[in-house]
Amino acid sequence: MEGLKSIEDVANYEGNATEVLFKRLHNDKIKNQIIDTLFRGEQSKIGTFIESLEVDEQENVVLDPSTGEPIIKERVPYVPKTREELEQSYTETLSQIESQTEIAFSENPYVSSNVEAMYVGSVAPWSGKPFTPKQMSITEAHEKGHKIREYHGTFFDEYFRAGFDFDDVYFGEKDAAIYRKAIGPEDGNKPIEEVRQIFFEYLSEPAELTERMSQLKNYFGMDSDESFTKSHLDYARVHYISDTEMDNGMTQFFQAITPKTESEFLKIINSVGV
């Protein structure tokens, strides 16, 4: 049909990734998917408790001398957020991330306490080169997405697990050397087994998986509620990293989407407001 573009035609979108993200976040279907997902996460916490710990004058956690465990000062039932509260927070957060971008200066933003800022002069650990303008755009959209899709906790762990299998994903010495640069000098001498564990605990976080899924939608310039298909995934597996030179765990991300998990992955990317 005339006017329809192929996947190859729309891939490697050259526009601003953050602007594409914002357009999706203003789409009613995407917005409702995010709020629905967050609401399900809130409902899953009913019956759980929030614990506050005892601290001293220097704000250090006080340990029980007999057990060595932190002393719990208070334990109260968790009160889940209502859908109305989540909708209000969504509107406020979207307005905030559209109007403000935190700027900082560091060669290695990954070891900073404010990882969601945009770092001028930063170097990509996988290449050793300064981030290109395209990579900075990808990074900005990724970090802003974290602000509005706070997918953390047991519910999200279980929901996302079906779409990924990290058990057989390759992680060698070269991968460990790259990630040691990201986790900082204090962890630089850890053996590969420990680095691998740290890396996959980070990458398998639902919030991190979500923003890498968002990177894929941005790569195809998806600015509405378009479905992400197997054809998109197959194309991105081959071309995403070479086109963008952005490998913030994307190699392992693609490997974790196996033939057994692929259909669940496609359900997730099209249902959680990516």
**pLDDT tens column, 81-116:** 999 999 999 999 999 999 988 776 665 656 554 555
Domain that holds residue 52: 48-79
Q: Are 118 and 126 in contact (CB under 8 A)?
A: no
pLDDT value at residue 2: 44
Q: Assess whether 71 and 165 both reside in one domain.
A: no
Assigned domain for 274 exists? no
Q: What is the pTM of this model?
A: 0.88
Phi (first) and psi of residue 15, to 5 degrees: -80, -175
Share of the chain above pLDDT 70, in %: 91
Q: Assess whether 203 and 188 both reside in one domain.
A: yes
**From 4-8, 200-204, 264-268, the region with the lowest mean pLDDT:** 4-8
Assigned domain for 167 exists? yes
pLDDT digits (tens, 9 = 90+) for 148-195: 999 999 999 999 999 999 999 999 999 998 888 877 766 667 899 999
Neighbours of 246 (CB within 10 A): 23
Q: Assess whether 19 and 54 both reside in one domain.
A: no
Task: Find the distance separating the first CA and the last CA of the chain, reported in whole Å.
Answer: 28
Tokens 């935190």 correspond to what residue?
102
| Number of domains forming the structure of the chain | 2
Assigned domain for 74 exists? yes
Q: Assess whether 12 and 62 both reside in one domain.
A: no
pLDDT digits (tens, 9 = 90+) for 222-237: 999 999 999 999 999 9
Q: Assess whether 75 and 156 both reside in one domain.
A: no
Q: Assess whether 114 and 240 both reside in one domain.
A: yes
Q: Assess whether 238 and 107 both reside in one domain.
A: yes
Q: Assess whether 52 and 167 both reside in one domain.
A: no
| Angle, CA of 200, 141 and 126, to the nearest 5° | 45
Q: Assess whether 187 and 55 both reside in one domain.
A: no
Mean pLDDT of 130-153: 95
Q: How far apart are CA 207 and CA 149, in angstroms?
A: 7
Out of 59, 79, 99, pick the residue that ends a domain: 79
pLDDT value at residue 109: 59
Q: Assess whether 252 and 213 both reside in one domain.
A: yes
Compute and round to an integer the Cα radius of gyration of the chain. Answer: 20
Out of 32, 63, 79, pick the residue that ends a domain: 79
Assigned domain for 1 exists? no
